[in-house]
């Protein structure tokens, strides 16, 4: 696989092109699994050997080291990161799709229990998919807003 942004991807998928509607459907399922904090739904988003990077350098996230490897480890990592009970809204813009890869911008707002804004993030996701529409590799960059 060609070098992608200074490093080779860890997962290779040949000859598959993901569609825009498939990406949006995956994001809807992603957000539903996140809201539900459902380990089976989270795991179902990812291929068996998926790699989930916690940021561009795989620095610790919420006290966890990455990347998470495998769908079960990803689900366990999400739950260990404290997603249960998180309240959020997200706007989504697909920036590009090339073959099995989608580049997505998301603006995510987290809310306190009383509905006030806790924090905002502007994020960029690079998501590689398999032919079944499952993520095989996930990378995220994020910046906290004012």
Virtual CA dihedral for 33, 67, 90, 12, nearest 10 degrees?
-90
Distance CA 110, CA 96 (A): 26
Structural domains for the chain: 16-144 (3.10.450.50)
Q: What is the pTM of this model?
A: 0.84
What pLDDT is stored for residue 146 in this prediction? 83
Q: In this predicted model, what pLDDT tens digit does every residue of 29-56 receive, in sequence order?
A: 999 999 999 999 999 999 999 999 987 7
Distance CA 75, CA 15 (A): 28
Q: Torsions phi, psi of 116, nearest 5?
A: -75, 155
Closest to 58 in 3D by CA, of 10, 90, 26: 10
> Is 107 in contact with 21 (CB distance < 8 Å)?
no
Question: In the predicted model, what is the mean pLDDT of the chain?
Answer: 85
Would you say how long the chain is, in residues? 146
Q: In this predicted model, what pLDDT tens digit does every residue of 13-29 receive, in sequence order?
A: 556 788 999 999 999 99
């Amino acid at each position: 696989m060609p070098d992608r942004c200074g490093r080779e991807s860890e997962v290779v998928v040949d000859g598959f092109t993901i569609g825009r509607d498939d990406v949006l459907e995956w994001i809807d399922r992603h957000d539903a699994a996140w809201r539900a904090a459902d380990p089976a739904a989270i795991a179902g988003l990812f291929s068996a050997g998926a790699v989930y990077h916690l940021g561009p350098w795989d620095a610790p996230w919420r006290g966890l080291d990455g990347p998470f490897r495998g769908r079960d480890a990803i689900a366990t990592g999400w739950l260990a990161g404290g997603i249960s009970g998180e309240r959020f809204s997200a706007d989504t813009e697909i920036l590009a799709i090339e073959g099995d890869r989608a580049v997505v911008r998301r603006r995510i707002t987290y809310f306190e229990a009383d509905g006030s804004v806790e924090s905002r993030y502007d994020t960029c996701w690079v998501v590689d998919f398999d032919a079944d529409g499952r993520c095989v590799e996930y990378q995220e960059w994020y910046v906290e807003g004012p």
